[in-house]
Amino acid sequence: MMRICLLLFVVGLAFPASAQDALGSDGGNATLTAHLGVLAKATSPAQQDSASGRVKTTLRKMLEADDAFTHTFAGVPMSRIDAADNKFRLFTWNLPRPDGSHRFEGMLLVQDKKRRVVYELRDMTEKITSPEVPELGPDNWYGALYYDAVVVTKGGKTYYTLLGWKGFSRTETRKVIEVLSFRGSEPRFGAGLFATSPPVDAPSRPTSSKIKPNRRVFGYSFQASMSLKLDPSEQRIVFDHLSPTKPELAGQPAFNGPDLSYDAYRWEKGQWLFQRDVDARDLDMTKPWNAPPKDRSKF
């Protein structure tokens, strides 16, 4: 199965046997939930950063425990993705700033052949000017809240396609189709699995149509709601087609919104093939972005 959570920065850790004992009878769930509650009520960046630091400290201890891959995190209000093949657990959360921007944090627990490794993810959105182009790593991450994932394979290599929400500014929200893969235990974000040039709604597109995007980023008005979800039965990702409110506003994502048509990426022959104007009548496209599906799928 896969799921949703919150964390940030790159570090490999050893796992002391006493970590679980120090977390209490519930393995740290109550403490982590309390810190997240303080974070939710924080009213300034300084308060947010302080509370988020306590979240990270507690979550790190939980991921150092012997049961880190089986711990349920019951009742913890955090986004979490659990890989269907038990390769990783990915936690993400956001810090909404007073200026309308968001900082994202993440923590990734990876099971290598010989050991477990924890990576903190560092959100470097401000420095990533063309977000669909680069391959990124834990210390250079295009932060997002991930809420769904699907496992795909190409040439014997496994890739995890992640769907994410990204608060961006006072006027613009974004959705992200990210690709996570591993070189040994080292995570890499982004891969050239998208067969066609991205549609015109991308906030920043590759300058050449011959360059495959490493991820897909959709920008739209903060007042709108964009649906982006898996359709396992058709091996595809279906999403709202975005259009500007007026023709003269084309190319300005903050003025984009759904136009009642749908596009998709279908997994076919080892790549995500773009499809325009797909039939989504059999899908419930009205659920909120963070409604976690009961089951996760492998294409």
Q: Is residue 2 part of a domain?
A: no
Q: Give the pTM.
A: 0.86
pLDDT digit string (tens) for 53-110?
999 999 999 999 999 999 999 999 999 999 999 999 999 999 999 999 999 999 999 9
Q: Is residue 214 part of a domain?
A: yes
Q: Is the pLDDT of residue 41 over 80?
A: yes
Six token digits for residue 2: 């896969």
pLDDT digit string (tens) for 195-236?
865 555 566 655 555 678 999 999 999 999 999 999 998 999
In the sheet with 79-82, reading across from the earlier edge strand, the strands are 79-82, 88-96, 102-111, 116-122
Report the domain count for the chain.
Answer: 1
**Which residue range forms the structural domain that includes residue 72?**
21-298
Of 18-27, 51-60, 105-114, 279-288, where does the model show the most confidence?
A: 51-60
Give CA angle at 217 (130, 87), nearest 5°: 105
Q: Is residue 142 part of a domain?
A: yes
| Across 166-170, 174-178, 285-289, least confident range | 285-289
Residue pair 97/43 in contact by the 8 Å Cβ criterion? no
Q: Is residue 102 part of a domain?
A: yes
Q: Is residue 202 part of a domain?
A: yes
Q: How many CA atoms lie within 13 A of 57 on its CB side?
A: 10
Query: Where does residue 85 rank: exposed (0-12), middle (13-18), buried (19+ CB within 10 A)?
Result: exposed
120-136 average pLDDT score = 97
Residue 241's closest CA among 274, 211, 204?
Answer: 274
Q: Is residue 230 part of a domain?
A: yes
